[in-house]
Structure 1
Amino acid sequence: MTAPLRIEPRWTDLDPAGHVNNSVFLVYAEEARNRLLHGLVPEAWSSIVVVHNGIDYHHPVLLDDLVEVTSAIEKIGTSSFTSVSVISTATHRCATVRTVQVVLAKDRAGARPWTTEERASLANELVSS
């Protein structure tokens, strides 16, 4: 697992109740996940697209919180993988984001299988759920 991404929420991240808006959790997870993937599969990185996101919200994040986001690979399929990103503060686990992504074929018309090298790199970040 790569080092946690540290984020200081901006006031524009907040909803009217003063919490980080639910949609911003996807942005935080995306940033951490893309840093991980760029290091693992740099040749395929620009051909990986999201096909599904799911978020479990556990605790609100406030403007004064320092957020840490970790990402790892939870499952690897033939042409897809599921990543799990955990968004936390010093005192709470705030959200768990699961994202399914696929790697596109060269013509970008559909998915292609992972190469042996790509699969091995992804497997290095595999964690049990």
Structure 2
Amino acid sequence: MSDYEYTATIEKRYNDFDTYGHVNNAVYVTYLESARIKFFRDVIGNRDISTVIAHVEVDYESPILVDHEVTVAVRVAEIGTTSVTLDYEIRADGERAATARTTQVLLDEDDEPRPVAEEWAERFDIEQNRAG
């Protein structure tokens, strides 16, 4: 399959679908967000990470239909000074439907970029090495 260690199950919503019964392309980014929040919570044990997306790219490969089970696999691609880049694989019934990459910049209480905490970097690095 792939070298992703972390996978999140995504709950689909009625309004995710277009009139053809496909998940709308814009919704894929919300699936990334859901998986990213779960990943941060589970990997570094923190629900209070403040980030802003600096970059997002999605490559669509096949449609997600109403009856498909949706999962998103996540892995750390790069750890920067104030950012973390994640790679994703969106799957429909276990088959790759899209790949994606996001870069998140971590923010402090004044909404200024902040360094990635050493403890977080270590946990991200462990996760990155597992997948690599």
| TM-score, with structure 2 as normaliser | 0.83
**Alignment partners' CA distance in 1, 2:66 and 2:108:** 41
1:113 and 2:122 matched = no
Indicate whether 1:100 and 2:93 are aligned.
no
Aligned CA distance change for structure 1 residues 92 and 106 (closer, same or farther; 3 Å)? same
The CA deviation at 1:37 is: 0.6
> Aligned pair count?
126
Which residue does the alignment assign to 1:7? 10
* Distance in 1 of aligned mates of 2:85 and 2:52: 12
Q: Secondary structure at the match of 2:26?
A: helix
**5+ residue gaps, structure 1:** none
Mapped contact 1:78–1:114 kept (Cα < 8 A): yes
CA offset digits 1:75-100 (Å, max 9, x no partner): 11111111112111235210112110
- What percentage of aligned pairs have identical amino acids? 35
Partners in 2 of 1:15 and 1:99 — Cα distance?
25
Deviates more, 1:64-73 or 1:11-20: 11-20
